[in-house]
Structure 1
């Protein structure tokens, strides 16, 4: 077994085109599994020749692609069905589908790339990407076990029948017409649209939600600590009104030595509270100065959520954007609502228009709760503890004083 670090886009690098060229040229490889978070037509076109060569010599391609955060395009779904022997779309509501895996195998050998590459033009060649390329001898027990583990993972995804659906023309049309599942439109972007609509935004919640297409997983997920509300102010060192998180039947998630190290809050206008009566709610909360002594154009990216695990994206208008998905313990009016995943979006190009709006907090599925419960004019307090726990508290008053 050999492992090689590979990276792009430098001249001496190795990108996804190189990997698929190796796969197409090696007659000992007969099966190719592709598992990616995003697929776009531009990415498929960039590697089409090698995929076609692989198919022409009798190879089979199984592709599992995601649609989380709207990063996949309608045209990408269409393109992957044209080159894959079996194509699937995977979506788990409330979770992000984020793998990037390319595994080619035959009777005696396998070539596996695990990295950061999506099947987009950026992931194929233009972006800064990195990964590990493994060459396996399947006649060796440990190396065969490695390959089997990879294929078992893909088999498990495909076997999750309510989350992993076979892609065909009818399903693609259903996804394109369903506002629950936003897809980017490469034709609209290429046409020079100046719209600032975000391809990673949630579906337009101002319209009645479409019927759910994806169901629930048949597999057990690893448990996450589920914070519950404790007595306010019970933990020393936490500002007035803070709510420590505590796991159900477990030791407190905010241990006594844990404390709130950052706190920002704002009063929720109707737009942020998703209560605009005459227009479509944005499904976001703007992260702004809100009277605090901060540089709102950089504070949320470089300070509050600096370590949140950011990845590159772009808006429909072509502006560079970074996104981080964060798990947040949510409390509304002292009622624990559990752990929810939100997206923080940072678009530095917006600074040229209005410096107070480079960052947004996307509500994702929690937006539906907000639309059903009017929290207009209440305070939304975001907290981060010394243990790295994020909390959102919505109440009549801030959770405590601002903490930079």
Structure 2
């Protein structure tokens, strides 16, 4: 029997991530049975594994997945992706307070067996990029210690493995709809939560250094849709390893080529004055080019709470949450200040409104974004953030 530690997320690349192991073993001819138990699942995580489960079908006599749905940790879309797999799949749910939280993946074959136990859920981040730790136990079918461990797991969770537990619900259209109607699960665009860990990146009193994170394989990412269609931007919550999805609202503005002046920040020890100048840039709304001196203050950000910052010259400010992605990379959720200075127009129709990069300033400056394209989207629903995508 061999025991191996599977760590992920703590270094730029994670070759021993649980996701990589699942992909390898599902593609192998050494096993004929897979049983996966996960507290949570995401659409991206399940979709990413779907090709490997298809590869496994001719060789595996049993393919079974059980997932939990506590704490809104598994979305309707994730369950629909599991349903589409066409394998044995179940929800475990009880109404009592204890939540369903195991993560166990068993591969059994005539000669080889593997057990993975740890913290990785069936989500894209949980399988590849979250800080996770698991143990993988490998043993052949004559290894008494390995077989004993396997038996202990199956005995402890006997009603899960024999599918007799009364709190198991087959994943089918009727059960998905019932849990949705009862408010136990929800659709991903509605699962927008306060991501406290991401918000800590805006901390002013403690400097939080940037950290390189492992890349998630392309098949586990949500595809970017065409420019003309509605797209979603995804951030993963730290508490469950699951995804929070922000649906784009209305396109509010495009800056076709960012000037250097809009992607700079103040030097160390001074107030961050670097900001995004909200100019006209030929942006058209309802057939008319916007008047930037009023459009941003009254239309795009009109619903915010504005306060007087200075009386002479008059400046007012407001704060809003922005979800920021840069060239396909998720930077996270940030509270940024918006300032409006009517006298900035100076009779020359100049810009009067800007967004201060604040804590993002240094990172913006180091990203070489001059001449990049920026798209600003309004919140899709009340409580959602604005979305800034720099392409």
Output the TM-score relative to the length of structure 2: 0.48
Output the TM-score relative to the length of structure 1: 0.46
Q: Which has the larger radius of gyration?
A: 2
